[in-house]
Structure 1
Amino acid sequence: MKGHLKVVLKMFRPVIYYILFFIVQLNSCKGIVSSGLQDNNSTDIVNLLNENYSGFEEEEYFLIKNQEALNLFYGKINRTRKPGLTPPEIDFTQNMLLVWCGDSKISSFADLEIKESDENLIIHKLKSRTEKENNLIVSPFSVYKLPLSSKALKIQ
């Protein structure tokens, strides 16, 4: 019986090595990904909404940290909409909203990147087109969700 067991173990030895190698590879990949994210200092940002008319005449960025401010913002953008947009459900104990409103010269949405420093949340606007392709009046806006922070907003 012991001899038969040794033969079976010798046959499955490559399979056992393959399974161990696979497990080690899975664990090592997770370590590399998490350490790369920690060095980046970037904040997770999720785009919740892009629309073409905000009612704002100047380009603006602002943070919304409570339900009252969110309702005021949606009240302003819903003045000319029938039916109006419904505010998203946000847990303001863990998240906050960043709102970007473009002016009437901007005809597309901006791509934003947020990095976190010791004192500030730094916003980089990656792109937006400023030429108008038609005669439509637009003032686009975007709403982004990000983790709650007490840091000040800095625009670059």
Structure 2
Amino acid sequence: MKGLITEDSKMFKYAICLLSAAIIQLNSCKSTAQGNLQESNNMGMKLLLNENYSGFEQEEYILINNQKDLNAFYGKVNRTRKPGLTPPSIDFNAEMILIWCGDNSASHYANLELHETDDFLELHKLKTTASKEENRFIVSPFSVYKLPLSTKTLKILK
């Protein structure tokens, strides 16, 4: 009887160790994936997030300069998500957020470049090649970018 209890406790310890190792491995993979999202261009625009459902019907570009507007956007996105996405921590005294929302026919994320001119922030939506296999899911992808604060007007060039 005493031998069975000892065997059960050893098995329990092994199970706990295996579960702990699996959790650590999953968390380390997640942080690597997030680190690979970082992209930038000549103005310091950094990609923070790519997701597949924004809830927007039409393609939109949204420039956000305060936490209230950022929370409102994430509130709209999170209406159909459980658990919802957490808004990024942004210092709106030095940075602002640019959000691209694709329409229902978009099956891939936009490839954006931002250039600063004397009067405008020019946003170029670069052409992307469509995949050979059409995406049959209904999605409206969106991307969230962080960029330095500017008072210039956003001009979208397609």
Q: 2:145 maps to which residue? A: 144
CA RMSD of aligned residues (A): 1.7
The answer to whether the Cα contact below 8 Å between 1:106 and 1:129 also exists between their aligned partners in 2 is no
User: Structure 2 CA distance, aligned partners of 1:129 and 1:97?
Assistant: 26
What amino acid sits opposite 1:82 in the alignment?
A: K
Instruction: Tell me which amino acid in the other structure corresponds to 1:138.
Output: V
Q: Does 1:67 align with 2:60?
A: no
Secondary structure of the structure 1 residue equivalent to 2:147? strand
Q: In structure 2, what is the Cα distance between the partners aligned to 1:91 and 1:112?
A: 22
Report the residue type matching 2:53 in the other structure.
Answer: Y
Per-residue CA distance 1:50-91 (angstroms, 9 max, x = gap) = 000000000000100000000000000000000000000000
More off after superposition, 146-155 vs 133-142: 133-142
Asked if the contact 1:108–1:129 (Cα under 8 Å) also holds between the matched residues in 2, the reply is no
Q: What amino acid sits opposite 2:70 in the alignment?
A: L
How far 1:129 moved relative to its partner?
A: 5.2
Contact persistence 1:100–1:142 (CA under 8 A): yes
Task: Report which stretch shifted further, 77-86 or 41-50.
Answer: 41-50
Q: Could you tell which deviates more after superposition, 81-90 or 127-136?
A: 127-136
Amino acid at match of 2:147: L
> Using the alignment, how far apart are the partners of 2:42 and 2:136 within structure 1?
38
TM-score (norm. length: structure 2): 0.70
Residue 155 (structure 2) aligns with: 154
Q: 1:47 to 1:64 in 2, by over 3 A?
A: same
Residues 89-115 of structure 1: per-residue CA shift (max 9 Å, x gap): 000000000000000111000111000
In the TM superposition, structure 1's runs of 4+ consecutive aligned residues that sit over 2 Å from their partners are: 127-132
Matches within 5 A, 1:52-131: 52-128=52-128
In 1, distance between residues paired with 2:74 and 2:96? 15
Q: Which sections of structure 1, spanning at least 5 residues, go unmatched?
A: 1-40
* Structure 2: gaps of 5 or more residues: 1-40
**C-alpha contact (below 8 Å) 1:107/1:129 kept by paired residues:** no
CA distance in 1, matches of 2:129, 2:79: 26
**Contact 1:105–1:130 (CA<8 Å) still a contact in 2?**
no
Contact 2:107 2:135 in 1 (8 A): no
